[in-house]
Each structure stands twice: as structure tokens, then as C-alpha cells.
Amino acid sequence: MRCGFKKHVCILLISAAALGICAQAWAQERESAWRGTVRFDPADSFMNLHNALPGMSVTWTPYVLPSLGILAEVDAHVGWGVLPGVQISFLSGAKYIPNIPVGPADRGKDGVFLDARVGLSLFFREGTRAAFVTKLNIGYQFVSRVGFVFAPAAGVVYNGRTGFGFNLMLALGFAYR
């Protein structure tokens, strides 16, 4: 009976120590981890073949888990000449950074990412037309120690107004704690 009691006490002490170490590591990771990113995509103005209108997109990504973020994107595009009009899109979705070791040790939000977005696009020209928009991208996100973000990616997009197209993203921005 004494041996069983000692065994249970040892297991309890070892479990408490392991739990304390894990809690300490998690707290340090949370203190040093970036909580989200804000990115601007200047590539929208001349490289996205799906829209035929130059513009800019802004994406805010708060992270709800270390490798999962919820995207909120606003696109604004303006056309003139052959394609006059204004298009504004509102999209939301998810961004996933799988734990794929590429390059140096993990520094927070660096890594290969996959993102999927879906939303509504409003086109204003002699009235308003609404269209469904969805994007799927794969890329690599670099986050510097001071929070500068560079995220090149490529993917496909479906715009209900213009159909399927190629989406190239060269996003620049910042991460915040």
C-alpha cells in the first residue's frame, strides 16, 4: 500500500512540474508572438488578371490560434477608358500556416501559408451590380523581428463579374502584438 501511495505522489509531482513547464513556455510564446497582421497589396494595381481594373487591397488577419487567422479583406478598384467604373469587394475567410520547417527556426508567423476568402463585390457604373468573389492562395509569409511583413503568394480567384483568373499577391505590411 505504501508503494502505491509513493507512486501516486511521484506521478502527481511529475505531472505538476510538467504542467508548470508547459504553462511557462506557453506564456513566453504568447508574450513574444504576433497577434495579427495588416497587409497592403500593391500588386493589385497592375498584376491581378482577374479584375481588369487597377486598385488596392487591404487585409487584416487577427490570429485566433498560433497557426490559424481569420481574414478580413477590402478591395477597391477603379477603371477608366474602356473599363470605367468602381468595384469594391468585402471578403472574409481563413489563413492557415502549417508547421512546415523551411529555413531558420520558427520566429512567430513566418512560414508557408494557405488562405481562402469568400465575399461580395459591388460594381458601380450606371447602377450597382453585385457579384460573388472567392480567392484561394498559397505563399510564404516573412515577418521580421520588428514586425515588417512581406507575403508573396499566387492562386486562383473567381469573380462573378469577370469569371476565373490568376491572383498574384505581393503584400507588404506590419504585424502587431
pLDDT of residue 42: 82
Domain boundaries defined on the chain: 1-32, 34-176
Q: What do you get for the CA distance between the two ends of the chain, in Å?
A: 52
pLDDT of residue 84: 83
φ and ψ of 32, to 5 deg: -95, -10
- Please state, as a whole number, how many other Cβ atoms lie within 10 Å of the Cβ of residue 165: 16
The yes or no reply on domain 34-176 and CATH 2.40.128.640 is no
What nine digits make up the cell of 159? 469573380
Q: Among positive and negative, which fits the CA dihedral 14, 16, 19, 20?
A: negative
- Residues with Cβ within 8 Å of 47's Cβ and at least 6 positions away in sequence, in order, are 168, 170
- Please state, as a whole number, how many other Cβ atoms lie within 10 Å of the Cβ of residue 21: 10
Provide the residue-wise pLDDT of the chain in tens; the chain has 177 residues.
455 666 656 566 566 555 555 444 444 444 457 899 999 988 776 666 566 678 888 999 999 988 899 999 999 888 887 778 898 999 999 999 887 766 555 456 788 999 999 999 999 988 888 999 999 999 999 998 899 999 999 999 898 888 888 888 899 999 998
